Structure 1
Amino acid sequence: MFDKVVIVGAGLIGGSFALGLKAAGAVRTVVGLERSPQALARALELGIVDEAATDPGAALAGADLVLVAAPVAQTAAILASLLPHLDAHTIVTDAGSTKSDVVAAARAVLGERIGQFVPGHPIAGRESNGPDAAIPDLYRGKKVVLSALPENDGAVVARVAEAWRRCGAIIHMLSAKEHDRVFAAVSHLPHLLAYALVDDIAKKPHAELLFQYAASGFRDFTRIAGSSPEMWRDISLANRDALLGELDAYVAQLSNLRTHLAAGDGPALEAVYANAQRARCAWIEAIEAAEPPPNADQESGK
């Protein structure tokens, strides 16, 4: 499907994309373009990339597709480094967890060539990072959101979608604004809460004792606090307005729970817990059910 794919950031996300394409026989050559020489060498050693490059010009020559898999705050600088070497046929996409800021950066940098950029976000990950965390089946059965732009040719979007499909992903379409509003609630806020809880306990004078008795419930709730602080700092700031709205709503919910608890209102507490249990069970059943292949209407966002 692709003669040459360039991965900017050959860690968990970019590396897994490369391995997924390779496993599907969908790419002839993968070139890694990485800011860390150590990570680049490791990606080459693990067979994630076939060639290692530190110069964008050498990396992009003849490239069909470029995936930018780096912290979202770096998007503008990365695209600026790529632009002088971008062939007319080369498609650029990204894997950032926010989209409005990425689109704004891409418009500012790429200008009239914005049609070559297709914003994307794979809904998959692990708490570990770097090339050693990359696996070929990370995206199998997982959603990938594409936030296609008005300037994107349909064939360009379809080509990016097919690349993700070859990795086993299921394609969904959301506008950048809708994407950020949704993920502020179901991804960005949970990460903020996990980080906050672990940080709070770590700062207590008897933290060592608390961590000694923390068990599976604490581990499961805080698993995502093991993610990259740099990446989640950028995501939190990039989606600040939507995240603040979700945080305010959550603070209000905590205030209500505190009121019920202080009043010893068991029925009110149980009602909140029961509603949450029902909602979570329904969600688990939905995600565990085999999701049918999306039809044309679903993929067009209709």
Structure 2
Amino acid sequence: MSDRLKCVLVVGLGLIGGSFARAVKMRGLADRVVGYDLNPQECQLGLQLGVIDEQAEDLLQAAAEADLVMLAVPVKATEALLETLAPVLKPGTLLTDVGSTKMNIIEAGQRVFGNLPACFVPGHPIAGAEKSGVQASNAHLFERHKVILTPLPETDASAVSRLASLWQALGADVLQMTPQRHDEVLAATSHLPHILAFSLVDTLAHEEQNKDIFRYAAGGFRDFTRIAASDPVMWHDICQANRDALLSQIDQFTTGLARLREAIDQGDSQTLLGIFTRARVAREYFSTLLSGTAYELKPAARSETPTAEPVPSQGE
């Protein structure tokens, strides 16, 4: 970044907020990294681990002094937090978030501010882990991962550029898309897989012989259901926040699964082979899209998805 930040305030020192604070601090991208969390023990631990420089004793004062305010709280808590911070934010303060849904964040901002601040740039890092809390924070978490920014027409272009440069300095690959498209894409690629994993594990847990099922589960089961260990409260909130897009994806999946069930029931080899072959080809293509990222599966040519636009580095 060309403009060094004097003070960064991170509200919410969970995995993502803590990793953002730790990464900014480790790379020396701000003079001060201040943390705030409803659980003061998380802040104290953050200080001990060197994740933050200071603990915000007074949230309003810390927000009033900040050049950048990062909201790393559950999506359902964002509106109340915006109401608290709105009166004290300086003009020009970069305001952003890390929520997995974007339309509800923007709508919350509109209810609080009326006209959204020009320096409000919603964002979403596509990175994470099943572990939570500041102790799980990792300064390298965002390296070679995508961060999606969803600015609105009224968003200041320089604010988008500054935030993109900050994420790029953390090693992330920054993209832009509309908030609506973001929520549709994430419903398909993140929210639906989590829902399926939760559902599968919950269903099998009710089986009478579930001990044998889990004891003898192979790698495929462990790989697919790993994400069912994610935070239930967070995913409850995401389901409510992205309800319509997620329901649409569930309906599409249900239709596809019913087609597969019928083919198995009827012994329809042609349909089965067609589904499996198309899926294999699509999966191999997906692997090429991941080449060069932290999700890389095998060497392949770099490609961008058609649903997002890369954000150039400063000076490009």
Contact 2:109 2:116 in 1 (8 A): no
Residue 205 (1) aligns with residue 208 (2)? yes
Instruction: Give the equivalent residue in structure 1 for 2:299.
Output: none
| DSSP 3-state at the match of 2:65 | coil
**1:233-268, CA deviations, whole angstroms, 9 ceiling, x for partnerless residues?**
111111111111110010011100110111122332
Residue 194 (1) aligns with residue 206 (2)? no
Instruction: Give the equivalent residue in structure 2 for 1:143.
Output: 146
Give me the whole-angstrom Cα distance separating, in 2, the residues matched to 1:292 and 1:139: 19
Instruction: Give the equivalent residue in structure 2 for 1:73.
Output: 76
Give me the whole-angstrom Cα distance separating, in 2, the residues matched to 1:187 and 1:142: 14
| DSSP 3-state at the match of 1:115 | coil
Structure 2 counterpart of 1:58, one-letter code? Q
Contact 1:2 1:26 in 2 (8 A): yes
Instruction: Give the equivalent residue in structure 2 for 1:284.
Output: 287
1:92-171 mapped onto 2 (5 Å cutoff):
92-112=95-115, 114-171=117-174
Contact 1:172 1:298 in 2 (8 A): yes
**1:32-53, CA deviations, whole angstroms, 9 ceiling, x for partnerless residues?**
1111122222212211111112
Q: State which of 223, 226, 245 in structure 2 corresponds to 1:242.
A: 245
Q: State which of 219, 222, 226 in structure 1 corresponds to 2:225.
A: 222
Residue 88 (1) aligns with residue 96 (2)? no
Contact 1:56 1:85 in 2 (8 A): no
* TM-aligned CA deviation for residue 205 of structure 1: 2.1
Give me the whole-angstrom Cα distance separating, in 1, the residues matched to 2:247 and 2:57: 38
* TM-aligned CA deviation for residue 212 of structure 1: 0.9
Give me the whole-angstrom Cα distance separating, in 1, the residues matched to 2:303 and 2:278: 28
Give me the whole-angstrom Cα distance separating, in 2, the residues matched to 1:233 and 1:286: 30
Give me the whole-angstrom Cα distance separating, in 1, the residues matched to 2:77 and 2:157: 27
| DSSP 3-state at the match of 2:215 | helix
* TM-aligned CA deviation for residue 172 of structure 1: 0.7
Structure 2 counterpart of 1:87, one-letter code? K
Give me the whole-angstrom Cα distance separating, in 1, the residues matched to 2:218 and 2:75: 33
Contact 1:35 1:54 in 2 (8 A): no
Give me the whole-angstrom Cα distance separating, in 2, the residues matched to 1:89 and 1:267: 60
| DSSP 3-state at the match of 1:85 | coil
* TM-aligned CA deviation for residue 54 of structure 1: 4.6
Moved over 3 A (4+): 289-293
Give me the whole-angstrom Cα distance separating, in 2, the residues matched to 1:270 and 1:292: 28
| DSSP 3-state at the match of 1:288 | coil
Instruction: Give the equivalent residue in structure 2 for 1:58.
Output: 61
| DSSP 3-state at the match of 2:32 | strand
Give me the whole-angstrom Cα distance separating, in 1, the residues matched to 2:144 and 2:169: 11
**1:100-144, CA deviations, whole angstroms, 9 ceiling, x for partnerless residues?**
110000111122452231111111111111112111111111111
Contact 2:144 2:292 in 1 (8 A): no
* TM-aligned CA deviation for residue 213 of structure 1: 0.9
Number of residue-to-residue matches in the alignment:
297
Contact 1:20 1:166 in 2 (8 A): no
Structure 1 counterpart of 2:311, one-letter code? E
Give the TM-score normalised by the residue count of structure 2. 0.90
CA RMSD of aligned residues (A): 1.7
**Structure with the bigger percentage of helix:** 1
Instruction: Give the equivalent residue in structure 2 for 1:272.
Output: 275
Identical positions, percent: 43
Q: State which of 7, 10, 13 in structure 2 corresponds to 1:7.
A: 10
| DSSP 3-state at the match of 1:242 | helix
Structure 2 counterpart of 1:176, one-letter code? P
Shift of the 257–63 alpha-carbon distance from structure 1 to 2, 3 Å rule, reads same
Instruction: Give the equivalent residue in structure 2 for 1:25.
Output: 28
Structure 2 counterpart of 1:220, one-letter code? D
| DSSP 3-state at the match of 1:61 | helix
**1:165-185, CA deviations, whole angstroms, 9 ceiling, x for partnerless residues?**
111111111011111111111
